[in-house]
Structure 1
Amino acid sequence: MPKVLISDKMDPNAAAIFRMRGVEVDEITGKTPEELKAIIGQYDGLAIRSSTKVTQEILDAATNLKVVGRAGIGVDNVDIPAASAKGVVVMNTPFGNSITTAEHAIALMFALARQLPEANAQTQQGLWPKNGFMGVEVTGKTLGLIGAGNIGSIVASRALGLKMKVVAFDPFLTPERAVEMGVEKVDLDTLLDRADFITLHTPLTDQTRNILSKENLAKTKKGVRIVNCARGGLVDEAALKAALDSGHVAGAALDVFESEPAKDSPLFGTPNFICTPHLGASTNEAQVNVALQVAEQMADFLVSGGVTNALNMPSLSAEEAPKLKPYMALAEKLGSLIGQLEGDAITAVAVEVEGHAAELNQKPITAAVLAGLMRVYSDTVNMVNAPFLAKERGLDVREVRHDREGDYQTLVRVTVTTANGDKSVAGTLFGHASPRLVELFGIKVEADLDGTMLYIVNQDAPGFIGRLGSTLGEAQVNIGTFHLGRRNQGGEAALLLSVDGAVTEGVLADICKLAGVKTVKLLRFA
């Protein structure tokens, strides 16, 4: 039974879902990093919120860990490259708190427009400052969205309902999607020049860090109001304070800070500045939603192999997983075969699918090919870290889908580029379940790839098979299965033998001495 640790406070229904799905779960919160390191080796899964830091040191101690699930969208507290290198899937729940965060941004926009916090404070002091606060309407104003993904699109829909005009800057926003959302796609400078309100809805990356820098704040319309409920670090806080002090920015509201918890921000005490302590996802509904979603996603992965909202491997639904399982087994064996035969000579990989395989999600098939291929370099490789290792080695990976009928109802072909040209292997499924090699470097060979096998290339000639059998028999090596193919009569032949017992270097050397032998390799398949 898989075992999961919930290390941050989470809705109790999450643990109930794990148990209902056949996953053992421990709820142990508030552990220090050292305490977490001491126990993490017991678990297959780790469910977290924002408190637990999944560092390289934690991952090194997590000897059985297969998945980290973040209840929420931000994964700044997870070392994703280290997790990928270790073969650990990292998931989040990007949609569970989207509405809550979008509503918080709208709430802060209204608070800025009508100076609600200051008006509330002075009224409660008995001052009755009716003439001291002159707000602005949002109706007819232009809202500038920096980031038009899931949360940004919800904010846009709410703003349009308030009769605002919406312009959006997002490099990934297509013109068609912009029309569908009812927004105008613009570049960043145009947004800064036109927006009366700006809200940010983008992750923190090297490209987005300080996207509202001193220089960009200076490009904004005088009197602009800025709201950030996304990530700290998107706004230069010192530059924002200066813009507020000068009056160029009429108001700003931050729910996130570059350093959290924020104890001494230069913005504190600045007139027309509102802040909240990272409350974007803090509603009862959101906390329940993300906890339930992360439990369902992790249970799907640990029980059935489904992968949802993963940040470091292709998604694979629980419904797809059983259908794809035999194809992924075939792909991994083909990758393992060509990896063992060509090894360090490989500079590029192409994965082609046709027939039934072309109707499926190809990403997991490609990942399985890479997992098999990269096993010659690492004994801990899996579908998560295989693409990472391939990229690290500089391999160019390409996917090809053929909409055509071939000799087989389904076919997966793996072609590698080497200094000696392209080499390819191909396989199919017998009975829709059993992986079978059908082509090896242009030679038709039908073979199961399993256990210990000998790969031999020789010149086709009478008597060779007999001599090979005698050599193996004298070495007490039993032949399990025998698969032979050739280009033409008297030409090059390829032989795959499954064998029982140990095949020593001496036996390989004796085979190499047989007349006509060109290549001999020992292969091992899981």
Structure 2
Amino acid sequence: MVKVLIADKLSERAAEIFRERGIEVDEKPGLSPEEQREIIGEYDGLAVRSATKVTPALLEHADRLRVIGRAGIGVDNIDIPAATKRGICVMNTPYGNSITTAEHAVAMMMSLARQIPQADASTQAGKWEKSRFMGVELFGKTLGVIGCGNIGSIVADRAQGLKMRVVAFDPYLTEDRAVNLGVEKVTLDELLARADFISLHTPMTDQTKGIIDAAAIAKCKEGVRIINCARGGLVVEEDLKAALDSGRVAGAAMDVFVKEPAKENILFGHPNLVATPHLGASTSEAQENVALQVAEQMADYLVLGAVTNAINMPSVTAEEAPRLRPYMKLAEQIGSLAAQMANGGLSSIQVEYEGHAAELNTRPLTAIVLQGVLQPKMDSVNMVNAPVVAKERDIDVAEVKHERQSFYQSLMRVVLKTDSETYTVTGTLFGHKPRIVEIDSIQIEAELEGHMLYVENDDKPGFIGNLGTALGKAGVNIATFALGRASRGAGALSLIAIDDAVPEALLKDLHKLDGVRRVTALNFGTDSPAAG
């Protein structure tokens, strides 16, 4: 019989769902890592929250394990590359606790405005310091929301109910979506300068890590108040402490910290800090929702082979997988290339299929394209939830199948429109290997792998030599070099595979080369689901 281990405390209903589906389940929360390693080999599924750490050491003993389900959105406690390597599907429940987390952020904002925790402690200590706790109204104040996705948009809605003005910074927020939400789309610098309160609702990525640091705080209003119920590390805690000490930041409400559990922290003890122990998703309703969702998803996978909200694998049937796998890798690559080339908020994505590709089940392929487009700036996006994320952000998605014949037996094309420009990337398969064959109407033949440079330049003698010389002097080794041009003497472009990431200083130097129009660093990882 199929067996599942519930390793952290979940709603009792989760175990009931497994049993109703004919799955044997053991509930053993609180085991030590050593105890988990001793028994994990007996199970096909592992359901966890945040307490259990799914490490390579644990997975080495998990010979039967087929699926790991995380009751919640964050998967920081699961070693996804290690699980993927062992062929284990990792699922999460990204939408079960959105309202709860948003409400906690609003509660933290109100507590911060009226110093409720401090006033409560003082009053219960027998003091009556009415004049000490002079708060501020939320009415008429400006709330800056950094990250206006599912949770951020709920916070914006609740803030408007409090008659606050809301400005939002989000690279994926379109003008139409902003209008529908009733928020004003602004740049990060504009948000920092105008907001009385700043609430963070963005995932932790290379772009968002430390987004609130000393430089950002220096751009804020004097007396700004900061709320973080998203991810520890979005705020540089040392810089926030200095700003609280100086009074530039009037108060901070923190539910998440760089190191958790946070038994000690540089911010603790500050009179203008409100702190909670990562309670964003801690309501009975949210716990029930995510527990039920993870049980249903894992049961569907173990019994039917269906995949929902998978982090590390595409949603396809066993029959389709062999034929679709090379197309999945192509779909992810052309989506990722288009996204890394693009500037501005996304407004639409059109995916076109020609030849043999048009005869396939293209829905999972289109979802993989969306995954490729959204992943560079967002975490926890996969082929299952990518369409939902696109819909939430009012990104129009269209799928077109052409019956016309082309030079290639199969073609996939992504047409990506932003607020300002349109980008087109076309690819095909040579054997089973993805190749880029056209970018913005310029023919080029290139494989995408690892670290690359995308260069647009004037087509004139000497440019390629100067570019190669600049890279060589910087110690950057070129693996492959693909070149295309519109016509003689017109614009040209290059896709250059290099051994290592290009330092920011070198990118700036390359922009100074005579004839350069654009230089962009690209990254195509080899550990993504579609690339396996």
- Same fold? TM cut 0.5: yes
The 1:149/1:129 distance shift into structure 2, 3 A limit, reads same
Cα distance in structure 1, aligned partners of 2:368 and 2:160: 42
Residue deviations 1:284-335, cap 9 Å, x none?
1111111111001111111112221111223x4xxxx7xx564446546999
Contact kept in structure 1, 2:355 and 2:404, CA below 8 Å: no
Is 1:66 aligned with 2:66? yes
Report the 3-state secondary structure (helix = DSSP H, G, I; strand = E; otherwise coil) of the residue aligned with 2:37.
helix
- Equivalence for 2:108: 108
Q: How does 1:285-324 map to 2 (within 5 A)?
A: 285-314=285-314, 316=315
Cα distance in structure 1, aligned partners of 2:310 and 2:220: 37
The 1:328/1:249 distance shift into structure 2, 3 A limit, reads same
Contact kept in structure 2, 1:358 and 1:402, CA below 8 Å: no
Report the 3-state secondary structure (helix = DSSP H, G, I; strand = E; otherwise coil) of the residue aligned with 2:231.
coil
Is 1:417 aligned with 2:416? no
Q: Note the residue ranges of structure 2 that are not aligned, 5 or more in a row.
A: 329-352, 370-381, 384-398, 413-426, 436-532
The 1:415/1:115 distance shift into structure 2, 3 A limit, reads closer
How many residue pairs get aligned? The number is: 367
Report the 3-state secondary structure (helix = DSSP H, G, I; strand = E; otherwise coil) of the residue aligned with 2:72.
coil
1:361 pairs with 360, 364, 368, which one?
364
- Equivalence for 2:376: none
Counterpart residue identity of residue 365, structure 2: Q
Cα distance in structure 1, aligned partners of 2:204 and 2:23: 34
108-117 vs 84-93, greater mean Cα deviation? 84-93
Normalising by structure 2, we get a TM-score of 0.64
In the TM superposition, residue 415 of structure 1 has moved relative to its aligned partner by: 6.0
Cα distance in structure 1, aligned partners of 2:142 and 2:159: 9
In the TM superposition, residue 96 of structure 1 has moved relative to its aligned partner by: 1.0
Cα distance in structure 2, aligned partners of 1:421 and 1:76: 31
In the TM superposition, residue 160 of structure 1 has moved relative to its aligned partner by: 1.1
The 1:223/1:3 distance shift into structure 2, 3 A limit, reads same
Cα distance in structure 2, aligned partners of 1:277 and 1:163: 29
- Equivalence for 2:98: 98
Counterpart residue identity of residue 155, structure 1: V
Counterpart residue identity of residue 402, structure 1: K
The 1:118/1:403 distance shift into structure 2, 3 A limit, reads same
Residue deviations 1:241-299, cap 9 Å, x none?
11011110011010111111112211111121110111111111111111111001111
Is 1:404 aligned with 2:403? yes
Q: How does 1:199-278 map to 2 (within 5 A)?
A: 199-278=199-278
Cα distance in structure 2, aligned partners of 1:332 and 1:215: 45
Is 1:79 aligned with 2:79? yes
In the TM superposition, residue 363 of structure 1 has moved relative to its aligned partner by: 5.7
- Equivalence for 1:394: none
In the TM superposition, residue 421 of structure 1 has moved relative to its aligned partner by: 12
Counterpart residue identity of residue 404, structure 1: E
In the TM superposition, residue 357 of structure 1 has moved relative to its aligned partner by: 3.5
89-98 vs 177-186, greater mean Cα deviation? 177-186
Contact kept in structure 2, 1:358 and 1:403, CA below 8 Å: no
Counterpart residue identity of residue 280, structure 1: G
Cα distance in structure 2, aligned partners of 1:275 and 1:248: 19
- CA-atom RMSD, angstroms? 3.2
Residue deviations 1:343-391, cap 9 Å, x none?
xxxxxxx99656664564336899xxxxxxxxxxxxxxxx99xxxxxxx
Q: How does 1:374-389 map to 2 (within 5 A)?
A: none
Report the 3-state secondary structure (helix = DSSP H, G, I; strand = E; otherwise coil) of the residue aligned with 1:19.
helix
Over the matched positions of the two proteins, sequence identity in percent amounts to 60
In the TM superposition, residue 60 of structure 1 has moved relative to its aligned partner by: 2.3
Normalising by structure 1, we get a TM-score of 0.64
Report the 3-state secondary structure (helix = DSSP H, G, I; strand = E; otherwise coil) of the residue aligned with 2:60.
helix
Cα distance in structure 1, aligned partners of 2:262 and 2:78: 20
- Rg bigger for which structure? 1
In the TM superposition, residue 113 of structure 1 has moved relative to its aligned partner by: 0.6
- Equivalence for 1:120: 120
Contact kept in structure 1, 2:6 and 2:27, CA below 8 Å: yes
Contact kept in structure 2, 1:331 and 1:365, CA below 8 Å: no
Q: How does 1:22-41 map to 2 (within 5 A)?
A: 22-41=22-41
In the TM superposition, residue 130 of structure 1 has moved relative to its aligned partner by: 2.0
- Equivalence for 1:514: none
Report the 3-state secondary structure (helix = DSSP H, G, I; strand = E; otherwise coil) of the residue aligned with 1:416.
strand
The 1:333/1:123 distance shift into structure 2, 3 A limit, reads closer
In the TM superposition, residue 234 of structure 1 has moved relative to its aligned partner by: 1.1
